[in-house]
Structure 1
Amino acid sequence: MKFKQLVVAGLFLSSASLTFAATDEQFVVSDIKVEGLQRVALGAALTYLPVNVGDTMNSFRTSQLIRSLYSSTHFENIEILRDGTTLVVRVKERPTISNIIFEGNDDIKDEQLQESLDGNNIRVGEPLDKTVLTGIENGLKDFFYSIGKYNADVSAIVTPLPRNRVDLKLLFEEGDSAKIKQINIVGNEVFSDAELFRQMELKFNTPWWDFLSETRYQKQTLSGDMETIRSYYLDRGYLRYMVDSTQVSMTPEKDGIYITLNVTEGEQYTVSEVELVGDLLGNEEYMKAVLPLLPNELYNQARVTYAEEFISKYLGRFGYAYPTVTTIPEINDEDKTVKLTLSVDPGKRIYVRRINFEGNSVTADEVLRQSVTQMEGAWLSNNLLESSKNSLSRLTYMEDVDFETIRLPGEDDKVDIIYKVKEQPSGSFNAGIGYGDRTKLSLQAGIQQDNFLGTGKRLAFNISTVSFQKSVQLSYTDPYFTIDGISLGGSLSYSEFDAGSANLVQYNSKQYSLGVNIGYPINEFNRISFGLSYSDVELSRRSNYEQTDRFYNQFIDPSNPDAPIDYSSFLTSVSWSRSTLNRGIFPTAGSSQSSSFSITTPNSDVNYFKTIFDSKFYFPLSQNQRWSVLTRIRAGYGNGYGDSNGIEQILPFTQNFTAGGSDTLRGFENNTVGPRGVQRSARSITGPNGETIYLGPESDNLVVSSRSLGGNAMLLGGLELIVPTPFVGEEFDNSVRSSFFVDVGNVWDTEFDFDKYRDLSVDSRSPDPVADYSDWTRYRASAGLSIQWLSPMGPMVFSFSRALQERVGDDVKFFSFNIGQTF
């Protein structure tokens, strides 16, 4: 029950002293004077006087005048005097409220208190009617009594100020809530006290560690517990269960409560027959087949309620939005059976006249309509309403979406639909800040607008000047290029990359790329896209590693082996995506999957393919979805195809998968998880004559880089428990998220042949030993806490993590901070 419904204002006729000095003689008013006005203007006061010059004044007119002045609520004392034939009205104005102060209130927020006072016209700047204060005091005390604070007291203190003003202070002495000393249930034989107590929210005699239990007495909670126990019996066939009486007694000190429930359990009843009557639109057999009510089974109230709701929702799919479904039980106490008759009246088919949107100050209506599957002029479908709501919620620039059905006056078959949306920042400043032993401080920045000028189009312009990369990218996507939902987008980018500064083996690259993509909706949840891009890559300052030389050798100029190499490619791609998430940002229910396959055309300088699969599932653990479990997996594989000049094609190492960092494996430094670069060199000895003699390949030395090279295969997964953020209200759940996570995964190289290096010695200069980088079981794992905040600059992610499984040479870190990415 809302708090303002608990406060009962005592509105009584003012008891201010009245003086009427005029005699009962009638006289004709020749003039009217009003004395004592301060705040109220004379003209305003005269409008409340039902007497004019020339009127005859008598006792009836006097009573009428007094009532009229008091009804204005401006005066607390009125005197009616006569000076000859002049009518004199002497008033004392009610004081004006200068300030309202709440003191000592812990269980009631200031906003709730002010809402109640507003209902009684008590607010700053308004005249104070002191007669309502007693009623407000009593109403507040009743509220405290309802939550078990029987020693609570409320005092309204009025402090006079100059110029007929007052300060109003509500002083609260809440005291402690009365604790439940004992709960007794009398008359239960089928279910034990302990079993019934487990169904109740109110508790008593709880152990000290169970600090979440509710041991304070609250009248509303007790009513809810009684209904819960009743449902517990009805769901198990005890159709005649009833509560005979309830006693709530209090200790003399008003700090303890004893509760006794006297119940009659009755006997179990079974369903003898289930009958559907009424207009079932020809679907009687289907409804009977899917309803969970069957003869010869125990009566179950929950199933009866579900059956009613199912029929209502089923009819709602066909436009019958307001059906009446009533279950009529025919109880036979002799054989303990009940016949259930479900009476169905679908009512009239309802049509949608108009669909309106509220709350979209940035996004245009036509953009939102593109996500709405319920059409104007069509019949109302609850399925389409819900799917439209979900589609709107999945837009990344929507924080919250709800809808309301408005029945039209005088139209029993037409409604208007209002979608109430709450927008969130659609533009973001994407940045990343990190610190590692090797990378030191790294920064990056960019701007992205997912709802450009309210059109729903996505425009991004990113400039990165990180220590290891300089890049410029411009991309544009129109998700509704056609009315059928076909999307069209393109991108243009340039980048310079220093792999050595990004925890990878040393090489420098310059890359230009231009691409275009088009997407087709398969249905509400699935979409398929096709893309074509051209790129030109220049590689220089390379380090010689066994894994990279195989790729370099096909482009090296023998006459100038240290010169940069250059290659270009045309990349075609196809991707599929599916999403049933309840929100685009910070979802708590549903799932999303995406898969992509890209391959270069045969006329490209390099021939390779690459495929990636992503999947996320959210499982709500509570009804309000503040508790939820996220499971996710990401897998990828790439390789070359065909040969060039007799050299078998492989995946360019610049396309290798990497892991580590806030978006893959938290607890590990960026890009450090995966195969290391391996250098192999021949050993030599000095001969008898001082000449250099090179030993055979079996005597070669190995040097393993401390930096990662990445691999052509990847498998990452994670499990995340999403919990309510401490000290943050439920209204901020769509902008702040906390979770405990476990990350696990690995990156490996399927082309790496460990047997070639197994028996070779590792040079003492090598920081790490060689390992089998083709072994996918060399996984890493971490666990920790993640806090995500949807700030005005974009999503911020703070991660505190600890490595649970690491390998020799891994660079682990406890804290990471990222802007522009969420999970």
Structure 2
Amino acid sequence: MIIKKIAFAVLLGSLGTTVQAEQKFQVEDIEVKGLQRVALGAALTHIPFNVGDTLNEFRISQSIKALYKSGHFNDIRVYRDGNRLVYRVYERETISEIIFDGNKDLKDEQLTESLDGSDIRVGETLDRTVLSGIEIGLENFYHSVGKYNARVTSKVTHLPRNRVNLEFNFVEGDAAAIKQINIVGNEVYSDAELLDRIELTFDSPWWNFMAQDRYQKQTLQGDMETINSYYLDRGYLRFKVDSTQVSMTPDKQGVYIALNVSEGETYTISEVDFIGDMAGFDKTIRAINPLQAEELYNGAEVTYTEEVISKFLGRYGYAYPKVTTIPEINDEDKTVKLSISIDPGKRVYVNRINFSGNHVTADNVLRREMRQMEGAWLSNSVVEASKAWLMRLPYMETVEFETKQLPGEDDLVDIDFTVKEQPSGSFTAGVGYGSQTKLSLNAGVQQNNFLGTGNQLGLNLSTNTYSKSVSLSYTDPYFTVDSVSLGGQVYYNEYDAGQANLVEYNNKTFGLGLNWGFPVNEYLRLNFGVGWKYNKVSQLQAYEQIQTFYDIYADPQHPDELEPFKTLDLNMGLSRSTLNRGTFPTAGSQQSLTYKMTSPKSDLQYFKVNYDSKFYFPLTRNQRWSILTRLQLGYANGYGTVNGHDQLLPFWENFRAGGADTLRGFENNTVGPRAVYRQPQPYRGTPDPTGSGSGCCLGADQDGVYASSRSVGGNAIALAGLELIVPTPFLDESFSNSVRTSFFVDVGNVWDTEFNMEHYEDLVPGEFEKIDDYSDVGRYRSSAGLSIQWLSPMGPMIFSFAKSLKEVEDDDTAFFSFNIGKTF
């Protein structure tokens, strides 16, 4: 068949398409050639006529536009063969891979997201017409941060089967350095005073590596706002930046900035008036207004006033108030009247509170933390408080909320909370090696959100060179709807003190207990507990500090054992927390005061009081830099008498320090008083004929005395710490809630208030270690180092590297410690 090419070459649009057609004809067949990926049926759906229709040149041109609009083709040509139409198409290539090369300021993920917005993605067809726009947009970004020599080019590499690789090549170059910043027109405040308050700098010393001496357009705009606010806050109501000139050196490596300003004069507030509807809170709003007549105008104070009034109205359901300050300026006497316009809008009520992202935690567990109630008016402060309570749950990583207005309702909203859970269960373990403890291991399971109920279940099994224990605990934090908690535990422990850097004794303990918690207010809780405990102490080495205790309770038939002790413990505590998160907090504080005593009818009568506090001070707005201060104080002693002797604190209840949980940089339990031993000094008598002689002992005041290398602990403790929490280097910001890095300084001491050095001053020093005054508070230790904490799938892991700064002779130090199961 001979194809008749009756020529007409018509330029359709700007696409250069050739169409051959008669004035009008009835189409008998439609053929599409060149299809590879696009199906014939899909192509025909974009042609706006069918076989049998009467066509003219206009309808054919419309079909070409429709095919182009489908986005599948780079080029389309139409030919007529009699009454047949033949479409010759060239499909767009499919993107096989997108490659970025040379980009440092922009991450691959950012670029991929930007290209995705332009429909440039792997597996899609390539629209070449958008590439030049993408190149220009990326170069404009680099220009905005001062990199005027930056270039971005795209390269298309053809592959078989109509596929292409798309490669973007970046030449970023260096940002232009600021050579000089000039401020023209300022008389009241000097250049130095103004330049000291902005971010951009020039001519910075080499050691000031934090200086912002590279030009960035956005930073300059922010600096102009800073200067404007500086003047407005000091009464210069007519201040303005008249013009800004940014000139560049020929090599585009240097920038000169000039700001032309008009300062004007200071203005005083003549009157403060309120207009509009104050929703019945006239007196309160006027009382909380800090603006006063006869004072210098202050822009920051005006903004603060608007925010205070808005937040106040927001507490009472007026969620969207409009508070605007209207200045009436009198240039003659340099005064300004401030009219504060208030439109509270409608009082808004909460229709429904919704939760999403809680795959494990039940809705009712989250809902019981809500301070904002459904059906009540919307209070912004109460919603923020609800978020804070959710964040304090130990199984929540992040919490966000959004207030959505119901369609067609201007006074009803839904609050959608989106939570991200973190592992609520943890495998707790520890491993360490010391000169005394050798290898130690422990393991356990702690579930803070048992079966999504928010209840806490703990089963801990521990075995190491000095301890074997098992414990089971369960706590329901909402035993009643009023947030009264109830918990209980049962435990068994075998403790070999000689393997834990302490003086030798074995202690078998069995106990059980119950505890209750009662809320006092939003942040304060009162806790009570009762417990029964059985202690069996054996293989005891008697030393000076416990000699009286030993004399009272030793079994004459078994001198190395003590009678079993049964005690009923009574506990009371007060705790307060304003932390912003339950795990890895960055702001707020936490304090606890606990008191424990045995009942007067117990075999042993003693008490212990302990205070623990933590304060977090964020240094940056995003709270990635924070300072943590820690303090622990404790004191314990006996009360009452037994057999005419004062009751003493049982030595196994002594405070101890050293190790990852207390004083990093020192071996576990090595900080504090050591056991003091008294040794009689014999002398030889007159020799007899056999060469031997009778001997006797010197008087008690001639006894020898020495200290053991083992610690015994003390009845008083003071520990403090200071930590700088920093972003973890080389780690993406998305992991900031699961990894924490900090530099720390620890300091502390354990001492014995009952120790009397005068009893030993006249004795003969022994051949071993000399004794020190273990009642001296000043025998403190300190250390500094680096700590890395990781919320791993097994539980919190802590890696600490510490160097002792102050130590006592013969202290056991530990440069590295590793622990699983507890975070600071």
Conserved in 2, the CA contact under 8 Å of 1:661 and 1:670? Answer: yes
1:470–1:496 Cα contact (<8 Å) kept: yes
Question: Which residue identity is paired with 1:164?
Answer: N
- Structure-2 separation of matches of 1:168 and 1:17: 26
CA distance in 2, matches of 1:729, 1:258: 35
Aligned partner of 2:751 in structure 1 is 748
In structure 2, how many angstroms separate the alpha carbons of the residues matched to 1:541 and 1:40? 88
Select the residue among 77, 85, 97 that pairs with 2:83: 85
Report what 1:717 is aligned to: 720
User: Partners of 2:396 and 2:761 in 1: how far apart?
Assistant: 56
1:16 Cα deviation from its structure 2 partner: 4.2
1:54 is matched with 52
Cα distance in 1 for partners of 2:619, 2:163 equals 54
The separation in 2 between residues aligned to 1:76 and 1:740, in whole angstroms, is 60
Q: Encode CA deviations 1:568-609: one digit per residue, 9 max, x unaligned.
A: 111111111100011111111111111111111222211111
Hey, what's the Cα distance between the residues in 1 that align with 2:171 and 2:493? 67
Alpha-carbon distance between aligned partners in 2 of 1:802 and 1:95, rounded to the nearest angstrom: 62
Q: Please give the secondary structure, in 2, of the residue aligned with 1:726.
A: coil
1:513 has 2:511 as partner:
yes
| Superimposed CA distance per residue, residues 342-393 of structure 1 (whole angstroms, 9 cap, x where no aligned partner) | 1111111110001111222221111111111100110111121111111111
Provide the residue aligned with 2:22 in structure 1. Answer: 23
Find the counterpart in structure 2 of residue 621 from structure 1: 619
Q: What one-letter code is carried by the residue in structure 2 that aligns with 1:757?
A: Y
Superposed, 1:4-43 pairs within 5 Å as 16-24=15-23, 26-43=24-41
Q: Deviations over 1:768-822 (max 9, x none)?
A: 2112212223222222222222222222222222222222232222222222222
User: Where does 1:730-769 land on structure 2 (aligned, <5 Å)?
Assistant: 730-764=733-767, 766=768, 768-769=769-770
Match of 1:335 among 333, 336, 341: 333
Which of 402, 405, 428 in structure 1 is aligned with 2:403?
A: 405
Q: CA deviation at 1:120?
A: 1.5
Q: CA deviation digits over 1:527-576, x for unaligned, max 9? A: 11111111111111111111223223333221332345311111111111
1:778 aligned to 2:783?
no
Q: 1:813 corresponds to which residue? A: 814
Aligned pairs (5 A) from 1:162-311: 162-311=160-309
**Within 1, Cα distance between the matches of 2:301 and 2:645?**
69
Correspondence 1:406-485 to 2 at 5 A: 406-485=404-483
- In 2, distance between residues paired with 1:527 and 1:704? 44
- Which residue pairs with 1:354 in the alignment? 352
C-alpha offsets along residues 191-210 of structure 1, whole Å, 9 cap, x if unaligned?
A: 11111111211111111111
CA–CA distance in structure 2, aligned partners of residues 553 and 793 of structure 1: 47
Question: Residues 542 and 550 of structure 2 are in contact (CA less than 8 Å); yes or no, is this contact kept in structure 1?
Answer: no
Residue of structure 2 in register with 1:3 after alignment: none
Aligned with 1:311: secondary structure? helix
Distance 2:248 2:326 in 1: 41
The answer to whether the Cα contact below 8 Å between 2:439 and 2:464 also exists between their aligned partners in 1 is: no
Query: What residue ranges of structure 1 are gaps of 5+ in the alignment?
Result: 1-12
In the alignment, what sits opposite 2:386? 388
Match for 1:705: what amino acid? Answer: S
Q: Is the 8 A contact 1:407 1:414 kept in 2?
A: yes
Q: TM-score, normalised by structure 1?
A: 0.96
Quote the residue 2:136 is aligned against: 138
Q: Could you say what secondary structure the match of 2:373 adopts?
A: coil
| Distance in 2 (alpha carbons) for counterparts of 1:820 and 1:180 | 51
Moved more, 198-207 or 433-442: 433-442
Q: Does the CA-based 8 Å contact 2:665-2:801 persist in structure 1?
A: yes
Shift of 1:291: 2.4
1:315-334 alignment runs, 5 A limit? 315-334=313-332
Contact 1:546 1:679 in 2 (8 A): yes
Partner deviation per Cα, 1:397-441 (whole Å, 9 max, x = no partner): 111222111111211001111112221121112122222222233
SS at match of 2:559: coil
Q: Which amino acid aligns with 1:188?
A: N
Segment of structure 1 superposing worse, 617-626 or 496-505: 617-626
Helix, strand or coil at the partner of 2:147: coil
**C-alpha displacement of 1:470:** 0.9
What is the rounded CA distance, in whole Å, between the counterparts of 2:348 and 2:118 in structure 1?
A: 41
Q: Is 1:787 equivalent to 2:784 in the alignment?
A: no
Stretches (4+) displaced over 6 A: none
* Whole-Å separation in 1 of the counterparts to 2:727 and 2:32: 62
Cα offsets for 1:725-758 (capped at 9, x unmatched): 2223433322222222222221111222221112
Residues in 2 aligned to 1:314 and 1:399: alpha-carbon distance in whole angstroms? 30
* One-letter amino acid of the counterpart of residue 22, structure 2: T
Equivalent residue, structure 2, for 1:691: 694
Pairwise mapping of residues 114-125 of structure 1 onto structure 2 (< 5 A)? Answer: 114-125=112-123
Contact 1:14 1:76 (C-alpha < 8 Å) held by counterparts:
no
* Match 1:728 to one of 722, 727, 731: 731
Q: TM-score, normalised by structure 2?
A: 0.96
CA distance in 1, matches of 2:143, 2:22: 52
> 2:192 corresponds to which letter in structure 1?
A
Pairing 1:667-686 to 2, within 5 Å after superposition: 667-686=665-684
Q: Which position in structure 2 is the counterpart of 1:486?
A: 484
Cα shift at 1:101: 0.8
What is the CA distance between 1:93 and its match in structure 2? 0.8
What is the CA–CA distance in structure 2 between the aligned matches of 1:281 and 1:700, rounded to whole Å?
87
Instruction: Please report the RMSD computed on the Cα atoms of aligned residues, expressed in angstroms.
Output: 1.6
Contact 2:555 2:562 in 1 (8 A): no
1:562 aligned counterpart, secondary structure: strand
Distance 1:231 1:730 in 2: 32
Contact 1:674–1:710, Cα closer than 8 Å, also in 2: yes
Alpha carbons of structure 1 residues 14 and 166: separation in structure 2 relative to 1, 3 Å: farther
Contact residue 22 and residue 80 of structure 1 kept, 8 A: no
1:650 aligns with 2:656: no
**Residue 3 (structure 2) aligns with:** none
Q: What amino acid sits opposite 2:32 in the alignment?
A: V
- Give the paired residue count: 808
Retained in 1: the 8 A contact 2:94–2:163? Answer: yes
Q: Provide the identity percentage.
A: 63
Q: Which moved more, 1:46-55 or 1:793-802?
A: 793-802
Structure 2: segments with no counterpart, 5+ residues = 1-11
Contact 2:541 2:560 in 1 (8 A): no
Measured against aligned partners, the alpha-carbon deviations of 1:504-545 in whole angstroms (never above 9, x if no partner) come to 111011111111111111121111111111111111111111
Deviates more, 1:437-446 or 1:713-722: 437-446
Letter in 1 for 2:799: F
Which residue number in structure 1 is paired with residue 707 of structure 2? 704
Q: How does 1:564-643 map to 2 (within 5 A)?
A: 565-643=563-641
SS at match of 2:775: coil
Tell which deviates more after alignment, 143-152 or 723-732. 723-732
Show the counterpart of 2:525. Answer: 527
Residues 317 and 347 in structure 2, CA contact (< 8 A), matched pair in contact too: yes
**Alpha-carbon shift at residue 638 of structure 1 (Å):** 1.2
